[in-house]
Structure 1
Amino acid sequence: MSYTLAKVAAISGGTAAAGGGIAVGASALSGAASPKQEKVSTSLEKTSNVEPEVVPTPQSEPASTKEPVCNVYLAEEPTPKEKTGSRKFTKFTEEFWSRDDFLKKVEEKNLWNKNNLNTEVGQGCTSHGRVFVWWGKGQQPQSETYVYASDMNNGKDWLKESGVDVPEKIKQQIQTL
């Protein structure tokens, strides 16, 4: 019997040292033709100091792709009327919208210049972050509409100009931007 124990110990020890574990040693004793091997992790594998390689990914754009808010402010018609280049806004109404809300309103009203307004307001928002319009006649034979004029949307912040009447509601809103 001691011979059998010695044989088991020798075979089990040899196969365990080789990384096969107890399953291989037991199969050798049982005489199985094709032993099923199980991977048994050794203490060497558990204490390995090898850390996984970290591959940096290039950042093409910031995490936030949210567009900045662009408001469209409604003013009274600038003065002097029809004198491009020297006109001024003197008073704003309490109405203002986000760009998207304004364009929805234009679409709902089915204004004759909705395509132009979409383009001009989009460009004004991109260039200056705010847009100023008024309600009136942009072209004489046409009906009233929102009017966008490039000379009134050239980067000047009309809400901060002296001599321009800005409602308290809008003043509070621009302080939070």
Structure 2
Amino acid sequence: MSYGILKLAAIGGGTAAAGGGIIVGSKIFSEPKSETPKYKTVSDTKDSKEAELQSLLNSGTCIIYETEAPETVQSKRKFKKLKERLWSKEGFFNNLDQQETKIWNLEQLKKEVTGSCEKSPSKRVYLWWGIGNNSKPETWVYSTEMNSTDWLKQSDIEIPESFNIGE
């Protein structure tokens, strides 16, 4: 007899516990859910970078273009390729100022780039990373000769498609 009472108590308690679980479970699922966090996708990031690039290109500010080092063609130096990176003049200088290791020609480079920005009708400056002085380490190199041409308008230079601003 006591076995039957225990069995009844166990089954009844289990059913009550299960019923309580259903009530608690339904309470959890009926609560209003907060919005699912939105994650940036690769295409969102690409679209935002392209929009940022187009905004910079159309802003009228002086733009610094990174190029590959010039090559000598028929005793004249020419750029053959613009790289994907570019900056506003201010962004470029801020980036250089924040670097822990300063480039050896920072002040001279600032003067040259600022002067070129002021004189250039296109507001474009072309720099490359390399050796500007054989006795010094690599740095950003500015050349007055190489900045006397608007390289974006030359047909024999490789230009990233994203730089096309309808000119």
Work out whether 1:123 is the aligned partner of 2:118: no
Deviation, structure 1 residue 130: 1.1
Q: Which amino acid aligns with 1:115?
A: E
Q: Any idea what SS the aligned residue of 1:80 has?
A: strand
Q: Any idea what SS the aligned residue of 1:135 has?
A: strand
**In structure 1, C-alpha distance between the alignment counterparts of 2:162 and 2:80, rounded to whole Å:** 17
The correspondence for 2:156, drawn from 153, 163, 168, is 163
**In structure 2, C-alpha distance between the alignment counterparts of 1:101 and 1:126, rounded to whole Å:** 16
Q: Which amino acid aligns with 2:153?
A: K
**In structure 1, C-alpha distance between the alignment counterparts of 2:70 and 2:89, rounded to whole Å:** 21
**In structure 2, C-alpha distance between the alignment counterparts of 1:106 and 1:151, rounded to whole Å:** 23
Structure 1 gap segments, 5+ residues each: 1-66
Work out whether 1:92 is the aligned partner of 2:92: no
Q: Which has the higher contact order (CA 8 A, sep 6+)?
A: 2
The correspondence for 1:102, drawn from 92, 99, 106, is 92
Partner residue of 2:68? Answer: 76
Q: Which amino acid aligns with 2:72?
A: P
Deviation, structure 1 residue 141: 1.4
Q: Any idea what SS the aligned residue of 2:71 has?
A: coil
Greater share of helix: 2
Partner residue of 2:131? Answer: 137
Deviation, structure 1 residue 168: 0.8
CA 151–118 in structure 1, closer or farther in 2 if over 3 Å, else same: same
Q: Which amino acid aligns with 1:175?
A: G
Q: Which of these two proteins has the greater Rg computed from alpha carbons?
A: 1
RMSD: 1.9
Deviation, structure 1 residue 175: 3.2
**In structure 2, C-alpha distance between the alignment counterparts of 1:175 and 1:70, rounded to whole Å:** 18
Partner residue of 2:56? Answer: none
**In structure 2, C-alpha distance between the alignment counterparts of 1:170 and 1:153, rounded to whole Å:** 18
TM-score (norm 1): 0.55
**In structure 2, C-alpha distance between the alignment counterparts of 1:131 and 1:163, rounded to whole Å:** 18
TM-score (norm 2): 0.58
**In structure 1, C-alpha distance between the alignment counterparts of 2:85 and 2:116, rounded to whole Å:** 18
Quote the sequence identity (%).
37
Partner residue of 1:150? Answer: 144
Q: Which amino acid aligns with 1:124?
A: S
Q: Which amino acid aligns with 1:163?
A: D
Partner residue of 2:17? Answer: none
